[in-house]
Amino acid sequence: MSMPAALAEVVSDFKDVEGQDKLALLLEFADELPPLPADLEEAAMEPVPECQSPLFLHVDADDRDHVRLFFSAPAEAPTTRGFAAILATGLDGLPADDILAVPDDFYTELGLAKLISPLRLRGMSAMLARIKKRLK
């Protein structure tokens, strides 16, 4: 299992900061979650009920060499939006095999366990698991 360069860079950014600065960085990612394209409606997306806040995702794997990932989460759910933005930043546009090779527990390397509840962290794990399920 390996981590794609873009995702490894995100992990490195989190390793470079401590404590509350990690939360600030997560909130920066939340603000950068790309909007849904006009042709994709939330109603047609897959819900991720494991997340504490409403989150929907869509995996476009028509081109397995260039998988597109789309997420929708409300602005009032910054932690969930941040996790989705991390996955979008680190994995969108990559080949399916690269995404499937991401360690299931990569998020532990972000160093957020002392700052965010285990239930919220499981939400990120669930997002990645659902993405991988769509690619198998």
35-93 pLDDT per residue, tens? 999 888 877 899 898 888 899 999 999 999 999 999 999 999 999 999 999 999 999 99
Instruction: State the CATH number of the domain containing residue 99.
Output: 3.90.1010.10
Going by C-beta distance under 8 Å and a sequence separation of 6 or more, which residues neighbour residue 103? 1, 3
pTM for this predicted structure: 0.95
State the total domains in the chain.
Answer: 1
Q: If you search the block for the tokens 């960085």, which residue do you land on? A: 25
Give the structural domain span for 119. 5-37+45-135
| The 46-47 sheet, strands edge to edge | 46-47, 56-60, 68-72
CA distance 59 to 45: 9
- What does the pLDDT look like over 19-37, one tens digit per residue? 999 999 999 999 999 999 9
